[in-house]
Chain A
Amino acid sequence: METPKTMFEKIWSRHVVAQRDDGETLLYVDRNFVHEGPFYAFDGLRRDGRRIRRPLKQIAVSDHYLPTVGRKSGIAGIADPDIRTMIERLAVNAREFGVPFIGIDDPRQGIMHVVGPELALAQPGMIITGADSHTTTNGAFGALAFGIGASEVKHVLATQALWQRNPRTLRVTVDGALPKGVTAKDVILAIIAKIGVRGGSGHIIEYAGSTIRAMTMEQRMTICNMSIEAGAKAGMIAPDETTYAYLEGRDHAPRGDLWNKALAVWRTLPSEAGARFDKEVALSARDIVPMVTWGTTPEDALPVTEKVPDPSSAATADERAHIERALRYMDLTPGLPLVEVRVDRVFIGSCTNARIEDLRAAAAVVKGKRITVPAFISPGSTAVKRRAEAEGLDRVFLAAGFEWRDSACSMCVGANGDFAAPGERCASTSPRNFENRQGRGVRTHVMSPPMAAAAALTGKLTDVRTLS
């Protein structure tokens, strides 16, 4: 009898171009995403006089540098010359190298990890790379998807392949029904808090269990998106009827006979019973509570019902040093209940949590109420924005006092100039709470969309379950 295989092994083995004795594998890449950032890769190709091997397996999306306001006049309307240059450069590179391109005025524009799935550019069984760590989002479709640096992007552009070493596998099983008020973001924060920011290091995570199976594709994307915050190379979820129903009929999904052929392959992908993982972790959904981060790495996450941790209760000297440093940066005192932490502003956006279901969940919290601190929403894509407007969510947000902006990475990373003011404390639905990421000295608290909406109402970190 053959040894049962994991989904990861099946996808990997389908993509092996060549293998070296020293364990390095040349893997074929089915789709590669770029944004404005890795212009170095195109510069490098030009310098070497190289072309792209398969231009139509690439896709370029403008997202990191696009402004979220004043987009009507297109690129010409962007005041900052550096930012304008970045956006123009991607358009020029895409044109020169023949790469499909989604730019500022394209109705399909959005954050590339949101756009890819929307257009069915991510499908089960693929190997997908992207010039951005959150390319892991696409793993929600049963694909092996991971971020790469600019030199590796150049390599993929030139050869459509990548040298990799066999990673290890980690299965994270979450079982049970999610309690009320608990979202996919809380699940992934709870996972990272449990295994740590290095817990997935060198591993591909497969998320499994009844909680994951019951999730929509959008929830699964939130989970896989943050795999990188646990240090994992990628995260993936087996495709099932939910996956196929999501994909069918989308722009780049196979059609007719090809759809049936694809389905037949996709159904063979899930890990087989008895397949061995290098590591296993299990969580019970019932125990998960709405989470917030208090520190400067995504593992610094606690149930919102808890208190700011005390360095003196740390298990190791390193942990103690980390807590001390984090609390200094975050300007928090040990023992303070998290729900007493005041916030200065709220950001709802990013590839982690700005899809339509996220906006619906946030709108449900603020409907008919007024927010007390400045807050804006940058939908995950232009399509999400249009859909939300069709459902009337924009009016709910505007009536509550939010700004309703265009789609870009925005205050998740500030590449387009959307920063919080120095030293401000920001409740954010983005994936990362690193020092200075949202602006100089800005203190980021990462949480789910309903939790961020609740914080906007009260001006404090708030347990959304306690709002009436």
Chain B
Amino acid sequence: MEPFVRITAIAAPLDRPDVDSDMLIPQRFLRRPLADGYRNFLFYNDRFDANGKEKPDFVLNREPYRRARILVTGANFGCGSAREGAVYAVVDFGIRAVIAPGFGPFYAGNSYQNGLLPVVLPDECVRELREQLHAAPGAEVTIDLPSQTVTGPDGRQYRFDIEPSRKERLLAGLDDIAVTERYAAELDAFERRHDAEMPWLAHLDFGK
């Protein structure tokens, strides 16, 4: 996983709340091997018409946003299904961070596992950022993870919260399994006790 420390990049404004997982990547692409690249599946129905031709008006199809590495959007981004493809497509497009007033139940969790930084800022701040980006297309935003700050095009800084463990893992590019392995002894002990307490759950006796 690529570590996340600090980026300064073009940010694309996407003015809508409740961007759902089906919108981020339609189900039919989720059968493709990850190695093929998910870049072109991102926002497929918004980016391409029925003949597969690009729709010129969609924000990520326009210059300079084709090169955006930050997305600034509305509340509840990534709501809907648990599909991690909705993160793979964003990451493959080149986006390293999404700034929103909030995320759907799975999105932030899935993002952390793939080196994508979900930044939650208050609604007014996100709105302000989007307005600035509309006013000056191609303006850059800086996100600095060590200091937990977003710096807008006008130089204003916004502080964001992130759980210390998430931050540590992102900075180091570590996934959760590597961390959990440090708890092997606790896990073994717990498992023995739990299996003894609720023996009917110990194994699935599946026959066949």
Interface residues, chain A, with chain B CB atoms under 8 Å away: 14-15, 17-18, 20, 22-24, 26, 28, 30-31, 36-38, 40, 43, 48, 50, 54, 56-59, 65, 82-83, 85-86, 100, 121, 123, 125-126, 131-133, 135, 147-152, 154-155, 158-161, 163, 165, 197-198, 201, 228, 231-233, 252, 254, 258-259, 261-262, 265, 297, 318, 321-322, 325, 413-415, 422, 432, 434-437, 440
Contact = CB atoms under 8 A, between A and B. Distances in A.
A160 B179 CA distance: 14
B87 to A, nearest CB: 7
Scoring B18, B45, B181, B203 by chain A CB atoms within 10 A of each residue's CB, the highest score goes to B18
A57 B187 contact: no
Given A154-B177, A228-B105, A434 B206 contact: no
Nearest to A148: B82
A148 B105 CA distance: 9
A258 B199 CA distance: 8
Contacts of A125: 198
Contacts of A100: 204, 206, 208
Given A100-B206, A325-B16, A437-B22, 14 more contacts: A18-B186, A26-B180, A28-B194, A31-B204, A36-B31, A133-B81, A148-B82, A149-B110, A151-B176, A155-B176, A159-B177, A201-B76, A435-B45, A436-B26
B175 A151 contact: yes
Scoring A58, A83, A133, A254 by chain B CB atoms within 10 A of each residue's CB, the highest score goes to A133
A322 B17 contact: yes
Contact of A24 (B22, B34, B165): B165
B127 to A, nearest CB: 10
Contact of B82 (A147, A155, A158): A147
A100 B75 CA distance: 39
B156 interface: no
Interface of B: 16-18, 20, 22-23, 26-28, 30-32, 34, 45, 50, 74-76, 79-84, 87-88, 102, 104-106, 109-110, 113-114, 163-165, 175-177, 179-181, 183, 186-187, 190-191, 194, 197-201, 203-206, 208
A161 B104 contact: no
A267 B82 CA distance: 32
Contacts of B198: 30, 125, 262, 265
Contact of B105 (A40, A82, A133, A158): A133
Contacts of B76: 197-198, 201, 231
Contacts of B205: 56, 252
A259 B201 CA distance: 11
A161 B50 contact: no
B186 A201 contact: no
Contacts of A265: 198
Contact of B45 (A58, A318, A440): A440
Given A155-B177, A258-B200, A435 B22 contact: yes
A322 B177 contact: no
Given A56-B206, A148-B106, A151-B175, A434 B165 contact: no
B114 to A, nearest CB: 7
B193 to A, nearest CB: 10
A159 B180 contact: yes
- What 6 pairs between A and B have smallest CB-CB spacing? A151-B113, A254-B200, A149-B110, A100-B206, A147-B82, A149-B84
B3 to A, nearest CB: 16
Contacts of B179: 163
B183 A18 contact: yes
A83 B81 CA distance: 20
Given A133-B81, A149-B83, A149-B87, A121 B204 contact: yes
A132 to B, nearest CB: 6
Given A151-B84, A159-B177, A434 B20 contact: yes
B208 to A, nearest CB: 8
A364 B50 CA distance: 40
Contacts of B190: 17-18, 28
A158 B177 contact: yes
Given A24-B163, A56-B206, A57-B204, A152 B109 contact: yes
Contacts of A261: 199-200
A165 B105 CA distance: 13
B105 A440 contact: no
Contacts of B183: 17-18, 26
A94 B151 CA distance: 47
Contacts of B87: 149
A149 B30 contact: no
B186 A17 contact: yes
A385 to B, nearest CB: 21
Contact of B106 (A18, A123, A149): A149
B182 to A, nearest CB: 9
A373 to B, nearest CB: 24
Contact of A152 (B34, B104, B113): B113
Contact of A163 (B17, B83, B106, B176): B176
A10 to B, nearest CB: 13
Contacts of B45: 435-436, 440
Nearest to A232: B105
Contact of B180 (A161, A228, A254): A161
